[in-house]
């Protein structure tokens, strides 16, 4: 992110990235500063084209204003030079055919699988999901582990390869296969950034242990 941006505004952007729509009150509670302070920071971020707001209907009373990131703000988060990679893949496809790109993705998945398994080997399913979340967080996916009565949950708030996935959607299915093979478990993707959600959410039933 921009090193010249204040720490508070950077934190606001991170919160909106992870939680999507948030009200001034919610941001105030999360940041532990006054509502006036939050509004001032939001005004600056809106002027910079990084944040936008709208009213959200929710039953009776005046709809609250909720804030969310703009596409411009999303570009501040890790992308791993995705645009450059897409350009290279287009050139490769010209000379080798579109099917070759799929081979490239699968080759990359094989290498990732080997690297992941080195860190997951010998662990329980719970430990594997936790470690996978750590790995993905290190790779820029803003990932974390959660758990409920029946499932383990892997959540990713950022997609460093979003530009690639938009051009080659099957990379998401290859990624899902990578998770299944890495964990040796059933995985259900319940939310998907590429389908309009603000995050990717994967549920791993404990019954597969």
On whether residue 160 sits in a domain, the answer given is yes
- Identify the helix (H) or strand (E) that includes residue 96: helix 82-96
| Structural domain boundaries enclosing 97 | 82-208
Asked whether residue 30 falls in the same domain as residue 52, the answer is yes
With a CB cutoff of 8 Å and minimum separation 6, the contacts of 76 are 1, 2, 13, 50
Say yes or no: 131 and 44 in one domain: no
Query: Which CATH number covers residue 86?
Result: 3.30.1380.20
My answer on whether 100 and 51 are in the same domain is no
53 with 116, same domain: the answer is no
What tens digit of pLDDT does each residue of 104-114 get? Answer: 999 999 999 99
Asked if 102 and 203 sit in the same domain, the reply is: yes
**Model confidence over 185-200: pLDDT tens digits?**
999 999 999 998 999 9
What's the structural domain count of the chain? Answer: 2
88 in the same domain as 147: yes
CATH classification of the domain holding 43 = 1.10.10.10
Reported pTM: 0.70
Contact 81, 99 (CB under 8 A): no
The rounded mean pLDDT for the chain is 90
């Amino acid at each position: 992110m921009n090193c010249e941006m204040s720490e508070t505004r950077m934190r606001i952007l991170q919160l909106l990235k992870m939680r999507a729509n948030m009200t001034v009150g919610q941001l105030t509670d999360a940041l532990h500063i006054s509502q006036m302070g939050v509004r001032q920071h939001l005004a600056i971020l809106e002027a910079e084209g990084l944040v936008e707001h709208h009213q959200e209907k929710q039953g009776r009373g005046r709809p609250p204003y909720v804030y969310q990131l703009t596409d411009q703000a999303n570009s501040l988060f890790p992308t791993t030079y995705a645009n450059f990679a897409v350009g290279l893949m287009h050139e490769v496809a010209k000379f080798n055919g579109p099917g070759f790109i799929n081979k490239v993705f699968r080759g990359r998945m094989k290498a990732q699988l080997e690297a992941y398994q080195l860190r997951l080997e010998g662990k329980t399913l719970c430990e594997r999901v936790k470690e996978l979340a750590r790995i993905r967080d290190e790779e820029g996916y803003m990932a974390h582990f959660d758990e409920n009565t029946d499932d383990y949950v892997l959540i990713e708030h950022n997609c460093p390869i979003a530009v690639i996935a938009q051009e080659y959607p099957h990379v998401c299915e290859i990624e899902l296969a990578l998770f299944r093979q890495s964990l040796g478990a059933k995985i259900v993707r319940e939310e998907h950034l590429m389908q309009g959600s603000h995050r990717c959410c994967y549920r791993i039933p404990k019954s597969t242990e």
